[in-house]
Each structure stands twice: as structure tokens, then as C-alpha cells.
Structure 1
């Protein structure tokens, strides 16, 4: 049988070579370190550009990320509650009828919610009972029953019976709470102008669950004696929880006499921005006031729906018949909004911010490389210094093979 002059390696030799290959590969992986080659370029223009970019990045990291955005801290939002209490009494003498209005009469609702209405003006319709009477709307004018039959009024006061009261009011007859309300005239000045001197007490408690911190707007130094005598002032008493309604309206940018006539809305914002790296006693509320709507003569004369009003009724029995007193209430709606955020040092966001900042420093290298390789007159020289170009040959020369074998043997000796 014919055999070749070259002997095939045995299985033992193949496994030995494979083992040697794996050993060399692992050795190269664990015991060698590669680092990129760097070229030092002495150029004033490139050096200045590089340092300016690096300074800009450094200013961004320190100024924006760390100082302004607090990138070295984690944050938490609080949960909390708001309790309110009004104080004050108002006196009215309408058509010779004296009346006293206290908290139970002019605050809606009376439970002390964070959103409530203080009545400042009203239109009262007494002794209403369900019966047939004349409508008051101008759109209900008629000259015969035909004008009222099958008619329906979106803003009407009751159910149109189809009968025209030709001999009296020349209006369609309705089945409603009669006499129907006449709100064509709004009392001016407002009937409860004394509401300007009412006081509002706000108690706000918040909790930051992430940090286990609970704070109240009755901060350190505010005791019963202080609360009974203080009145909020943004300069002299910024932490007092007692607010005069007239001051709230003024601080929100409105005029009390105008907003009291037709009503309006005011937002009270309690801002808790706390740095818990400092003492907890430094975590204090800041109050701000914003007019939401009101004073149409001073803000938007073309506004279609002005002020704030609603109706409510007090029912009672008289001569075995149900009756009611209807009030159209004009008032100031207060919405108390709590905004809160607490920050505290955390190593995770700190390292993240530093890592992202270090990555941005690479922008300087990219820009300077573009200047070196494409804009400067010596760009060809810099290109040759930065990059080493090699060409792959189809067959290696004999002297290159000898040098390669010699290099490999020297490398193996150095490893031993």
C-alpha cells in the first residue's frame, strides 16, 4: 500500500498541541496588559482648544450637575395632609333683618379640607315651595299658550307647563320652587366685606418615607403662645401659620372688594425643599400665593364667566309643607397645594454623575483630533504619527517568517 513521505501527527501529539495552545492563550489573556499608543503634540492652538473644552466640561459637572441639579444626592417626595380652620364673625343688616354669620355659615365644606370656599356675598330667596308660578327669563316671554307648548329652557328654573300667563307677567308658567330666584342684581359692595379680617389657620404635616423624616409647619419655636398672637407676614413672620384673608388676597395680586363681590379662586402653595444633609430643623416651609381667577375688571374684561359662585338650600317644614331658603353664594375658593422634595447624599448617584462627567471629557479628544487631522497645515504629518498603516501580503517573505519564529521562541523563553 502506498504511503506518503510525511507522517501524520498522532492523537497524542494533537492533544498536546491543543493543550499548549489553550495554555498560551489563557496566559496571554491573564498576564498581559495592552494600552493604546499616545502621541504628544506640541501645538498652542490645539492645546488651548483642548483645555478650554475640558474647563467647560468641568464647569458643567461642578456647576450644573453637582451644585444646581444636586447630582450627588438622591431625592424623595413626601406624603402628607393639610388641616384648615377659619375664625371670624360677620354681621349683616339686609332690609332691616339683622343676622350673624359664623364659621358654620360661611365656610363650605366645614370639615377643614385643603380646598374650601369662604362666602363673601350672596343672593337669598326665602320661602320657596313647589308650585306653579311665572318664569323670569326673558327667553320665556309669550303672547299665547302656543309659545309655551313643548318648550324647554336649558337655563330655566322649572318645568314649563305649556300655559302663558297673558294677563299678568306675559311669561310662560313653570312648575318649580316658587318664587323663582332673581339674580339679575348682585349686591355691591359685598354683604360680607368683614370677611377681609377673617383668619385662616393651616396645619400641614409631611413625611418623607425614604428617609423616615416627618415635618410639620409648626416648626421648632412655634408654641401655643406664638400661634395665638402671630399673623403671617412674608418678611417679619414667614413661618406663622395664621393668615388674614385680606392679606392672602393682596399677596395673590387681587383687590378684595372686587373679588368679594363676584368671587374668585386663590392658590396657596406650601413648598418643602429640604436638604437632609443638614439638620432636620432647617427643613422649613415656604408659602406662596397665586391668584387663579377673579377681578375681571383688572385682568380680563372680555372673560365670559367671571367670579365663583354656587347655590345651596336650607330645607324646612312650615304648615306641613316643605319649603326652603335658597342662597346663591359668591365666595373665594382656596386651594392649598403642597409641593415637597427632600435630598440626601447617596454614593450611587454621585458615582453615576462622576462617570458621566468623565465620559464627556472625551469630547475634547474628538474635537482636537478633528483639528489635528483635518484643519491644521501639518495634518499629513500628524496623521502619519497617529496611525500606523500596514498592508496584508498574500505570502510572507522568508526573512519575515524567520524573524517571526525567532520572536515566538523568545516570547516563550521570557514566559518561563
Structure 2
């Protein structure tokens, strides 16, 4: 027993096993083998390394966005008055967030005060007080019902800010078409923590003197961080006059896709513009909640009575979206990509074996040469023939001795390396 254990340990530590292969000279199998290997090679080089950059590691940025809108708008003919709108009243919010709204149209209801008044005509119609449920609220109403039916309007009376807002007629054309000339300044900073790289969209050459006179243009001034609102709408695929009437939303994408294997100064942002919603030709057949709008009120005191001016604002919502991806060479993903590629080369062997064992006329012969069957109780075939008893002896030599020949009889000359088989 001790000797057996010693021999087993000796064999385990001092012996090396290596597979033997059979060389098959067959044009069809050889061509299939090389074609499969070529396809695998193209996939590894073209897709994994060139397109997917499999030799690089990646990192996404942590960043912030600051915006500032400038411009002056003007409206005339509203109840015989003229109004000049600056950005403090027509841009929301004024703090410079990554999402802002520029007012382009509005409905104004002036001098509202708390009291009792009828609902709009055609809305919550009634013929008697019994049609108005006292103390109830309706989702689309303006206040609490008092239980009174106003004969003059044939609508229910409500306690609300009176007179109630009438937003059924939206001004057309939009009142603040002059907002088309507003300008938007975007300041964006990003940091790639894994690579320790920080960048700003105010890259090399974008200084104070340049910013004072530049205006973003995709071809002539692609790095200028100042954008005209009308140009943003146009580049997004919308028409300014159409989107200004009922509002909409536009996404401004700041794309930081950087290859840090080259100088960091080449890491620069690219701007793109996408219309999100607000197109009058939307596929929404129901036309429900078209555009973008919200309400806000200005409160004041008049004769010690609290009043307010209510505005329903239609505007263009601008969402600044930062997309980032940095790449840099890393030995770990490189070795991983190479290792997986080498493993995929085994597909050629599998395909060739399928052809040899299932499709060729001499598949039974190949099957006999590829797979050796051993009986645990009968003498080994090699012992009967006086051949070497090692399990790693040459199958090709054994086959030739059984057949009484030592030379191949197949004139075809293309080789495919699978396992060592006799020649066809």
C-alpha cells in the first residue's frame, strides 16, 4: 500500500500529460476550419478590440450643471397695456438649475380676490340648487361649491379666487415670440474619479473674451457654451412659433466620451439637441395634455384686501442631460478579452468534428479513430497487437498497423487540426 501511494504521488508530481492530435487531409474540412477561425479572428479584432474597445477600462463622471438665461421680452395689446418681461419674470426657476422653463405664452387673470362667484359657462351647468352639491369639490373645478345655482350663467356658485380663470382660449400667435432671441449659458464640470481627471466645458481656448462674442453653431463654434433659444428649438427639430404657443420640452445633451489614452486636452464635450414633446404633429391621437404649462400667482394688497394676479404660463422646458464615459488602457480587461478570444477559437474544432463525424462518407472510420474504447476486463487491443500500452500512444500508428499500411491513401492536401485521426 505504501509503495502504491508513493508511486501515485510520484506520477502526479513528475509526469506531464499532453493531448495527441490526428491530422486529417481533407479540402472541405480544411476550408471550413479556416473560415470559422477567420470569422472568430474578425470578431475578436474588429468587434471586441476596435469597436468595443475591449482593451480599456471605463468610468462614468460625477458632474454638475449651472445655467444662466439672458434676454428681454415684450408684449403689447394686452388690455391696452405694454409689458416688458425680463428673465426674472419669464424664466423659472431663476437659480440656474439643470432644468429651466422659458415662458413663451400666457393667460393672465388680474385682480382675483377670495369670494363667491359662478363657475365658467358650459362648466358644471345647473338648472336648480339641487344640481350643486354644497361643500363638495370637483377635480377640475376652481373652488368649493356653495349649493347655489346662478341663474345668469346657469352654473354652480363656488367659493374661490374670483373671477375664476378662463383658460379656454390660448393666445395665437404666442405672446412672447421675442423669447426666441434669449441666450442660454451652460457651465458644466465633470470628474472621472477612477482616472482622477476633471474637466470643464470651458476647455482650452474658451476664455472670457471668446465667450463675450461667441454663439454656439454646430460647425463653426461647436464648443461655445452660449446658445440662442431659437437655434436650440431649430436644432431639436421643432418650429419655434408652433412650440411657443402651448409649450414643450427639449433635451440638451452634453456628451463627454473621452479616450484618456491620448492627451486629456482632447477630452471635450459635444452638444446635441432632442425634441422631447410639444410637437403639434404628435402621434397622441387623444391630444391630451399637449405642450407644457403651469400656473403661478403674484399676491398684493389693495385697500387692505389681499388680491393676486394669476398667470397660466406656457413655456419651453430645457433639460440639460450630461452623458459621460471615459476609457483608458488596462491590462486586466485586455487579458480577459484575449483569453475569451482564444477560447472562442475552439469553435472551429467543434465544427470540424461535427463535419467529420456526421457529414462525411467515411464518418464511421473517423469515429473509430477518434474514440478509443477499452474493456476493463478484456486484454487491451494494443497488447494483442504488441503495441505500446500507454494510453497516450499514437492512434495514427495503431491504425496503420491494423490496416497493414503506413501511408495515407487520400490525395487531398488541406489540413484541419482537431484530434489526431487517420487520413481519409
What TM-score do you get using the length of structure 1 for normalisation?
0.88
* Contact 2:108/2:309, CA 8 A, preserved across alignment: yes
Structure 2 residues without counterparts, runs of 5 or longer: 391-424
Of residues 142, 153, 163 in structure 1, which corresponds to 2:148? 163
- 1:412 is aligned to none
* Maintained 8 Å contact 1:373/1:383: yes
Secondary structure in structure 2 of the residue aligned to 1:253: coil
Of 274, 294, 297 in structure 2, the residue corresponding to residue 313 of structure 1 is 297
Question: Over aligned residue pairs, what C-alpha RMSD do you find?
Answer: 2.3
Name the CA distance, whole Å, in 2 between partners of 1:46 and 1:183: 78
Q: Given that residues 115 and 333 in structure 1 are in contact (C-alpha distance below 8 angstroms), is that contact kept between their aligned partners in structure 2? A: yes
Aligned to 1:131: 115
3-state SS of the aligned residue for 2:334? Answer: helix
Change (3 A) 1:234 1:255: same
Paired positions, count: 386
Does the 8 Å contact 2:297/2:311 carry over to 1?
Answer: yes
User: CA shift at 1:302, angstroms?
Assistant: 4.3
Q: Please state how far the C-alpha of 1:186 moved relative to its aligned partner.
A: 1.2
CA radius of gyration, larger in: 1
Kindly tell me: are residues 177 and 45 of structure 1, through their superposed partners in 2, closer, same or farther at Cα, counting changes over 3 Å?
Answer: same
Q: Is the helix fraction higher in 1 or 2?
A: 1
Q: Does 296-305 or 245-254 show the bigger shift? A: 296-305
What is the 5 A alignment of 1:321-360? 321-360=305-344
CA distance in 1, matches of 2:141, 2:368: 91
Distance in 2 (CA, whole Å) between partners of 1:152 and 1:326 is: 21
CA separation in 2, counterparts of 1:21 and 1:296?
88
Q: 1:36 to 1:119 in 2, by over 3 A?
A: same
Distance in 2 of aligned mates of 1:84 and 1:198:
13
1:196 and 1:245 in contact (8 A); partners too: yes
Alpha carbons of structure 1 residues 137 and 285: separation in structure 2 relative to 1, 3 Å = farther
Which stretches in structure 1 are left out of the alignment for 5+ residues? Answer: 1-16, 408-416
- The aligned counterpart of 1:279 is 263
Give the distance between the partners of 2:121 and 2:67, measured in 1 at CA: 40
Work out whether 1:26 is the aligned partner of 2:9: yes
Q: Which residue of 2 aligns with 1:220?
A: 204
Query: Is the Cα–Cα contact under 8 Å of residues 134 and 169 in structure 1 kept in the other structure?
Result: yes
Contact kept? 2:189, 2:201, Cα under 8 Å: yes
Task: Specify which structure has the bigger relative contact order, considering alpha-carbon pairs within 8 angstroms and separated by 6 or more residues.
Answer: 2
CA distance in structure 1 between the aligned counterparts of 2:358 and 2:286, rounded to whole angstroms: 63
Describe how 1:62-101 pairs up with structure 2 within 5 A. 62-93=45-76, 94-101=78-85
CA contact (8 A) 1:296 1:303 kept: no
Distance apart, 1:170 and its partner CA = 2.7
**2:42 aligned residue:** 59
C-alpha separation in 1, matches of 2:90 and 2:70 = 11
Alignment correspondent of 2:419: none
1:66-125 CA-to-partner distances (Å, cap 9, x unmatched) read: 111111111111110010000101122223222211111011111000011000111111
